[in-house]
């Protein structure tokens, strides 16, 4: 009875994911959001990026917004938390931008510097004290994703579950080698042909900031970055890492429950997001099965009770911040700070982590969830169609 219920549960999860992927529009890595956010695209955060500059002098930040313009009623904010080590921050610098009227951008880095003017030119505008630069306008979003291939891969897994694939006590299905091979085959193609980017040519609004590191590090080396939109003192949306907030929450629940969960998530902070851990863990158990091997996901705890084997990674994802090691200017690896701190991977310790516009974020994220590596899964796409930069401001390609 327990196994049968688990199989039906996971099949419903996959069916829900598959149907919503088919219905979603090109909205970067933060899709399928709550009703409040969907109804207000100018408040809908699509992607967040954060990394150290090549000369070790600045923190680069990007927030893309689904709407093609900014609202005079919304506050756009980067939260830059700082601390001595991963997982524990002790201070926060708030970088806030507002758009009182068309052509006018007003941003401030705490009380340290501020800017006011037209930030839509490629060079952006400098703060009054010269401590940061801001660009605000339309750019190409560098996130790329083979949504159609992903949907087809999920359909293979869903069929296997409905055909009787067993599910272990931790919630991980047992897929045979043929099923796993077909999952990866479908994932790396689009309609049986070469993989195509569902988001090609998509041009959201972007807030791009390059700020002097001492303004945000507060004398420590580790930063944790997340972004929010708010109006009237109420937080509307929050985002940081790709593919967490919406991909792993409420996929099997009734619509009203799912919507309520996502509204709650968007209004929460990293500090009070622990109650999302059990729901995220359900999705992690499913991803772990795609390569036909349960238990090789990042941070899987084999010796823990079955109900808690996916808890460690679920906690990391529920926190949902981009962690940046500011002592490094080598920025090549999503999750580098987490891998160095939690998974004992010394090669990651020399990387700044965070997320630059050049990361293949979807493939890295899914690989860690499937087999604990950064290269084990691919949707057939390795780069965006446009040429983005991690060194030349404003970093994202022109639309």
List pLDDT tens digits, range 72-116.
999 999 999 999 999 999 999 999 999 999 999 999 999 999 999
Q: Is the pLDDT of residue 160 over 70?
A: yes
Return the higher-pLDDT residue of 243 and 296.
Answer: 296
Q: Supply the pLDDT for residue 258.
A: 72
Q: Supply the pLDDT for residue 37.
A: 77
**In the chain, pLDDT over 90 holds for what percent of residues?**
82
Sign of CA dihedral 99, 104, 108, 111: negative
Rounded Cα gap, residues 218 and 236, in angstroms: 28
Give the DSSP per-residue string, 107-125. EEETTTEEEEE---STT-E
Q: Supply the pLDDT for residue 301.
A: 97
List pLDDT tens digits, range 339-396.
999 999 999 999 999 999 999 999 999 999 999 999 999 999 999 999 999 999 999 9
**In the chain, pLDDT over 70 holds for what percent of residues?**
90
Q: Supply the pLDDT for residue 26.
A: 43
| Residue ranges making up the domain that contains 230 | 1-399
Q: Supply the pLDDT for residue 163.
A: 95
Q: Is the pLDDT of residue 19 over 70?
A: no
Give the DSSP per-residue string, 169-199. TTS-B---HHHHHHHHHHHTEETTEE---TT
Q: Is the pLDDT of residue 24 over 60?
A: no
- Work out the angle at residue 339's Cα, subtended by the Cα atoms of residues 82 and 95, and round it to the nearest 5 degrees: 25
Q: Supply the pLDDT for residue 25.
A: 45
Q: Taking residues 271-287, what's their average pLDDT?
A: 92
Give the DSSP per-residue string, 304-353. S-GGGTTHHHHHHHHH--EEEETT------TTHHHHHHHS--GGGGGS-B
Q: Supply the pLDDT for residue 3.
A: 52
CB proximity list for 146: less than 8 A, separation 6 or greater: 187, 188, 190, 195, 196, 197, 198, 379, 380, 381
List pLDDT tens digits, range 165-193.
999 999 999 999 999 999 999 999 999 99
Q: Is the pLDDT of residue 208 over 60?
A: yes
List pLDDT tens digits, range 117-146.
999 999 999 999 999 999 999 999 999 999
- Work out the angle at residue 97's Cα, subtended by the Cα atoms of residues 91 and 100, and round it to the nearest 5 degrees: 150
Residue 351 CA from chain centroid, whole number: 18
Tell the residue number behind the tokens 């950064």, with chain if given: 374
Grade residue 259 by pLDDT with cuts at 50, 70 and 90.
Answer: confident
Q: Is the pLDDT of residue 59 over 70?
A: yes
* pTM for the full predicted model: 0.92
List pLDDT tens digits, range 298-335.
999 999 999 999 999 999 999 999 999 999 999 999 99
List pLDDT tens digits, range 232-252.
999 999 999 998 876 787 655
Least-confidence region, from 44-53, 69-78, 181-190, 272-281: 272-281
Angle, helices 2-23 vs 147-162, to 10°: value is 160
Grade residue 2 by pLDDT with cuts at 50, 70 and 90.
Answer: very low
Q: Taking residues 247-259, what's their average pLDDT?
A: 69
Domain total for the chain? 1
Grade residue 15 by pLDDT with cuts at 50, 70 and 90.
Answer: low
């Amino acid at each position: 009875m327990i196994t049968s219920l688990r199989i039906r549960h996971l099949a419903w999860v996959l069916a829900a994911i598959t149907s919503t992927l088919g219905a979603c529009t090109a909205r970067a890595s933060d899709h399928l959001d709550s009703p409040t956010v969907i109804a207000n695209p100018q408040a809908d955060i699509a992607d967040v990026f954060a990394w150290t500059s090549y000369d070790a002098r600045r923190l680069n930040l990007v927030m893309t917004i689904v709407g093609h313009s900014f609202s005079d009623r919304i506050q756009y904010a980067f939260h830059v938390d700082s601390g001595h080590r991963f997982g524990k921050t002790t201070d926060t610098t708030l970088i806030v931008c507002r758009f009182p009227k068309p052509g006018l951008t007003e941003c401030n880095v705490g009380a340290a510097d501020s800017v006011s003017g037209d930030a839509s030119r490629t060079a952006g505008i400098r703060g009054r004290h010269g401590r940061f630069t801001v660009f605000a306008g339309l750019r190409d979003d560098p996130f790329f994703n083979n949504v159609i291939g992903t949907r087809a891969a999920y359909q293979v897994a869903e069929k296997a579950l409905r055909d009787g694939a067993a599910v272990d006590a931790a919630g991980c299905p047992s897929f045979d080698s043929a099923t796993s091979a077909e999952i990866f085959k479908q994932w790396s193609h689009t309609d049986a042909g070469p993989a195509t980017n569902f988001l090609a040519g998509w041009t959201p609004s972007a807030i791009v900031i390059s700020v002097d590191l001492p303004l945000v590090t507060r004398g420590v080396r580790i930063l944790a970055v997340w972004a929010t939109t708010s109006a009237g003192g109420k937080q509307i949306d929050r985002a940081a890492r790709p593919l967490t907030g919406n991909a792993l929450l409420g996929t099997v629940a009734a619509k009203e429950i799912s919507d309520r969960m996502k509204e709650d998530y968007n209004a929460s902070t990293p500090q009070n997001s622990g109650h999302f851990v059990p729901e995220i863990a359900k999705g992690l158990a499913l991803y772990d099965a795609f390569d036909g091997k349960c238990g090789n996901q990042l941070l899987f705890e084999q010796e823990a009770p079955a109900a808690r084997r996916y808890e460690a990674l679920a906690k990391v994802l529920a926190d949902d911040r981009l962690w940046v090691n500011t002592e490094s200017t080598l920025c090549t690896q999503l999750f580098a700070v987490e891998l160095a701190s939690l998974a004992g991977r010394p090669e990651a310790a020399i990387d700044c982590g965070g997320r630059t516009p050049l990361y293949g974020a979807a493939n890295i994220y899914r690989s860690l969830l499937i087999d604990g590596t950064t290269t084990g899964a691919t949707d057939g796409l390795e780069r965006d169609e446009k040429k983005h930069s991690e060194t030349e401001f404003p970093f994202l390609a022109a639309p």
